[in-house]
Amino acid sequence: MDDRRPPDPAGNPGEVFAAFLRQGLTAFGGPVAHIAYFRREFVERRGWLSEPAFADLLALAQFLPGPASSQLGMAIGLRRAGYVGLLAAWLGFTLPAATAMLALAYLLPQLDVGWGDGVLHGLKLAAAAVVATAVVSMARTLAVGPIRAGMAIGAAAGLSLGHGGPVPQIMALSAGALFGIALLREPPPATPDDPAAGQIPAEVSLAALAVFALLLGVLPFLAGWLDNPTLGLASVFYRTGALVFGGGHVVLPLLQGEIVGRGWLDRDTFLAGYGAVQALPGPLFSFAGFVGASQTVAPGGWTAGVVAVVAIFAPSLLLVVGVLPFWDRLKLRPGARGALAGVNAVVVGLLAAALWNPVLTGAIERPSDWLLAAGAFVFLAVARLPPWLVVLGFAGAMGLFHPPLAV
């Protein structure tokens, strides 16, 4: 019988919660910036883990589906204070942005019609620029070379010409994994094993993976059988959190197909919330709180928003516990690394397709909007202004100066 125990807490959950709450209140700039904040805070300032161990956990977070920076935080919390530390890290990092997004769901419909329409338009233009910068940045690292670039272009073309929805996206990601195994070979990372990984009992890891798969398969059938809208909402967000590769920006096309495509929420409100979350610190997946509280299919308002947030992060919580002990062996296999490289290339194409529809098609109302969107892109990609500043600036400026459309 395996008598290994969870990692011995070097700290306590309260300490972990406070440290990650600070990150949730101050870590602006999106997933890549979050990783840099985490390294400075937990490697350099607090010394909770070494540089090689941090790199090892970061590689795991990038390998798994879901929000990489949140999963990195969960893994750090798990190493620092065991399973409760994992939950404390997630709650502290997510709470500020999720609370703000829930509040926005109630505030947005109350805005003055003229001013509110301008704010809405500014948020959509800023969101278009943010997604465009994400496409460019990800293409430079994940779609380098003719094979990866061809996979990204093919995925973008296929998804743009198709009818959208989650099924084509899942098929594209699966094809990317297969092409990656066949055509791409990634060298193994030169980082040492994380000693904390082997201390999670095998039965706990296997149970977490079993629960992950069970919820993924059972939730949709259970929601339909019981005719329960709240379970249906949880099923959609759980499936999204389980299938998003590439970080928070990629949640946009998956949720757009699931939520807007089903008529649960109108496209303008959806894109306004996505633009607003760019102005907040913390994980982009907190956008789920806004969508859950704003949608019309499930009752509950803010409680539906909480259900959406918990459901979209639940796969990450289970996968971190389930995969961490096996990561040291899996990451050395060329096939697994090739599959990851292929999926990452397809993710670039998926995000490029989403940039056109629904982002640009929903944000551009008149020819001058192309110039405004291009200006927002320059502020982000060339001037390197923080996304929150660009989003707030465009929302405020368009709220004051947005002209009505000619009819």
Mean pLDDT for 151-173 is 78
pLDDT in tens, 304-335: 999 999 999 999 999 999 988 887 667 667 78
Mean pLDDT for the chain?
Answer: 82
- Parse the chain into domains and list their residue ranges: 94-401
Which of the four pLDDT bands, split at 50, 70 and 90, describes residue 4? Answer: very low
Which of the four pLDDT bands, split at 50, 70 and 90, describes residue 5? Answer: very low
Question: What pLDDT is stored for residue 248 in this prediction?
Answer: 62
Using CA atoms, how far residue 213 sits from 64, 125, 168, 291, 322, in Å, is 14, 38, 21, 24, 11
CA distance 257 to 401: 32
Higher pLDDT, 111 or 121: 121
Mean pLDDT for 154-161 is 86
Residue 117: burial class (beta carbons within 10 Å; 0-12, 13-18, 19+): middle
Residue 264 dihedral angles phi and psi, to the nearest 5°: -80, -20
pLDDT in tens, 14-64: 999 999 999 998 886 667 668 778 888 898 889 898 876 786 787 678 778
